Structure 1
Amino acid sequence: GSVPTAREIAEVAARNLVPCSLELGGKSPFIVLEDADIDLAARTGALMYRNATQVCLAGTRFLVHDNIREAFTEKMREHVASLQIGNPQLESTEVGPLIHPRQLQKVEAYVQRAIAAGAEVLWGGSRHDGGGLYFQPTMLSGVQQDAEIVQEEVFGPVLVMQSFASDEEAIALANGTNYGLGGVCFGEESHAKAIAFGVHTGFIWINSFGIRDLAAPFGGCKNSGIGREGGEWSFEFFCDIKDVVVPKQPFVPSFAKR
Structure 2
Amino acid sequence: MSEHAAVVAGIPVDTRHWIAGERVASTSTFPDVSPIDGQVIAEVARGGAAEAAAAIEAARVAFPGWAATDRAERARILHAIADGVDKRLDELALVETTDNGALLRSHRNGVMPRVAHNFRFFADWLLGLGHEDFETRGHRNHVSWDPAGVCVLITPWNAPLMLATWKVAPALAAGNTVVLKPAEWSPLTASLLADIAAEAGLPSGVLNVVQGYGAEAGAALVADPAVSRISFTGSVPTARRIAAAAAANLTPLSLELGGKSPLLVFEDADLDLAVDLAVEQYDNAGQVCLAGTRLLVHDGVAAEFTERFLARASGLVQGDPRAPGTDVGPNIHRDHLARVDGFVRRAADQGAATLLGGGPNTDLGGLYYRPTLLTGMPPGSEILTEEVFGPVLTLQTFGTEEEAVALANGTRYGLAAVVATGSPERAERVSAALVAGTVWVNCFFVRDLRAPFGGARQSGVGREGGDWSFDFYCDLKNTVTAPWEK
Per the normalisation by structure 2, the TM-score is: 0.51
Cα distance, 1:158 vs. partner? 0.7
1:67 corresponds to: 300
Structure 1 residue ranges, 4+ long, deviating more than 3 angstroms after superposition: none
**TM-superposition CA deviations, 1:34-62 (whole Å, max 9, x none):** 10011111012111111110000110000
Q: Counterparts in 2 of 1:135-154, with a 5 A limit?
A: 135-154=369-388
CA distance in 1, matches of 2:250, 2:338: 39
CA distance in 1, matches of 2:324, 2:243: 39
Cα distance, 1:244 vs. partner? 1.9
1:201 corresponds to: 436
Aligned residues: 250
Equivalent in 409, 417, 435 of residue 183 of structure 1: 417
1:240 corresponds to: 475
1:223 corresponds to: 458
2:281 corresponds to: 48
SS of corresponding position for 1:244:
strand
SS of corresponding position for 2:341:
helix
Indicate yes or no: 2:218 matched with 1:18: no
Equivalent in 218, 222, 242 of residue 9 of structure 1: 242
The answer on whether the counterparts of 2:351 and 2:378 sit within 8 Å (CA) in structure 1 is: no
The answer on whether the counterparts of 1:193 and 1:206 sit within 8 Å (CA) in structure 2 is: no
The answer on whether the counterparts of 2:266 and 2:420 sit within 8 Å (CA) in structure 1 is: yes
Cα distance, 1:27 vs. partner? 0.4
CA distance in 2, matches of 1:113, 1:245: 61
2:401 corresponds to: 167
Higher-RCO chain (CA-CA 8 Å, sequence separation at least 6): 1
**Percent same amino acid among aligned pairs?**
52
| Structure with the largest fraction of helix | 2
1:210 corresponds to: 445
1:253 corresponds to: none
2:359 corresponds to: 126
Cα distance, 1:91 vs. partner? 2.6
Cα distance, 1:17 vs. partner? 1.2
SS of corresponding position for 1:241:
strand
- The code of the aligned residue for 2:411 comes to T
The answer on whether the counterparts of 1:145 and 1:151 sit within 8 Å (CA) in structure 2 is: no
CA distance in 2, matches of 1:145, 1:200: 19
SS of corresponding position for 2:300:
helix
- The code of the aligned residue for 1:183 comes to A
- The code of the aligned residue for 1:233 comes to W
| Structure with the largest fraction of strand | 2
**TM-superposition CA deviations, 1:99-136 (whole Å, max 9, x none):** 01111111111111111110011111111132121111
Cα distance, 1:239 vs. partner? 1.2
CA distance in 2, matches of 1:95, 1:78: 16
Cα distance, 1:81 vs. partner? 1.4
The answer on whether the counterparts of 1:32 and 1:63 sit within 8 Å (CA) in structure 2 is: yes
CA distance in 2, matches of 1:243, 1:184: 39
CA distance in 1, matches of 2:429, 2:246: 38
Indicate yes or no: 2:310 matched with 1:77: yes
SS of corresponding position for 1:183:
strand
CA distance in 2, matches of 1:17, 1:54: 32
**TM-superposition CA deviations, 1:1-31 (whole Å, max 9, x none):** 1101111111111211111010001000010
CA distance in 2, matches of 1:241, 1:133: 47
SS of corresponding position for 1:154:
coil
CA RMSD of aligned residues (A): 1.0
Structure 1 residues 77 and 17, CA gap change in structure 2 (3 angstroms): same
CA distance in 1, matches of 2:433, 2:401: 10
1:249 corresponds to: 484
Indicate yes or no: 2:270 matched with 1:37: yes
Q: Which runs of 5+ in 1 are unaligned?
A: 251-258
Per the normalisation by structure 1, the TM-score is: 0.94
SS of corresponding position for 1:140:
strand
CA distance in 1, matches of 2:289, 2:476: 32
CA distance in 2, matches of 1:226, 1:91: 38
Cα distance, 1:163 vs. partner? 0.5
- The code of the aligned residue for 2:455 comes to G
CA distance in 1, matches of 2:338, 2:262: 25
**TM-superposition CA deviations, 1:147-201 (whole Å, max 9, x none):** 0100111111111111100000000000000010001010013312211111101
